[in-house]
Amino acid sequence: MTYLGVIGGSGLYEIDGLENPTWTTVETPWGAPSDQILTGTLDGVKMAFLPRHGRGHVHSPTTVPYRANIDALKRLGVTDVISVSACGSFREEMAPGDFVIIDQFIDRTFAREKSFFGTGCVAHVSVAHPTCPRLSAACLAAAIDAGITVHDGGTYLAMEGPQFSSVAESKMYRESWGADVIGMTNMPEAKLAREAELCYASVAMITDFDSWHPDHGAVDITEIIKTLQDNADKGRSLVARLPALLGPERAPCPHGCDRALEYAILTAPDKRDPALLAKLDAVAGRVL
């Protein structure tokens, strides 16, 4: 059965048309998630919405409890996660107000816990293809149907923040590294979703051209907020179309996202830390 989780970023704090909406408190071994989770159904599909920064935007990109967020969604029974987040653009053709369906990441974050695993239970999952093509295709179709200008595929550079880039950094990411957009929140979120065997798709909503653009200069926060508000309306429209596209019945992921841990755990069973295993009950219970 499909259970769709939506992690909403800056500007997106609700799902329109949700039936029987209930704010649910979910406790995790990794601490409290960013907020309560809004659950309900939409077009016969179970939905869970988590505001990434918390209602009222209380968490910075660095302090978002990424592990707790992914664990909480998995603990609820979520099978598929859509990340919706604001970003800056490195490409003239990817303009403010456009959306990008992300398929690659460059992770430049450094102050965040990036794995559920560690000493006592070591695991290595592949993030060569960090987003789910099936779920990304549904997001693309929903965006097109909603009349949104959308780009199919793009590389998202995840920076630590909370400051925006210098001009030198922005030019390096764009010209030398080949990134298409820049944001602060999709890492380690995408890596953790893969460890939790959740299909993950990223919808990046462009708010600005970052600081490389000669005609735009420094990022203007007032312009960003205006574009954020416009993008939020489009984001809700996209999300509202996803249940009908995905349907209530769910087959195993053809790309193996839901089996990512099949051969990932390397620690011998008799050497595994029972305390860590207990914390992994939701994330890795299928293989443990």
Instruction: Please give the positions annotated as active site.
Output: 208, 210
What's the residue count for the chain?
Answer: 288
Contact yes or no for 97/227 (Cβ under 8 A):
yes
Distance of alpha carbon 61 from alpha carbon 52, whole angstroms: 9
Cis peptide before 162 (omega within 30 of 0): yes
For the chain, what is the radius of gyration of the CA atoms?
A: 18
Burial 109-133 (b: 16+ CB within 10 A, else e): beebebebbeeebebebebeebbbb
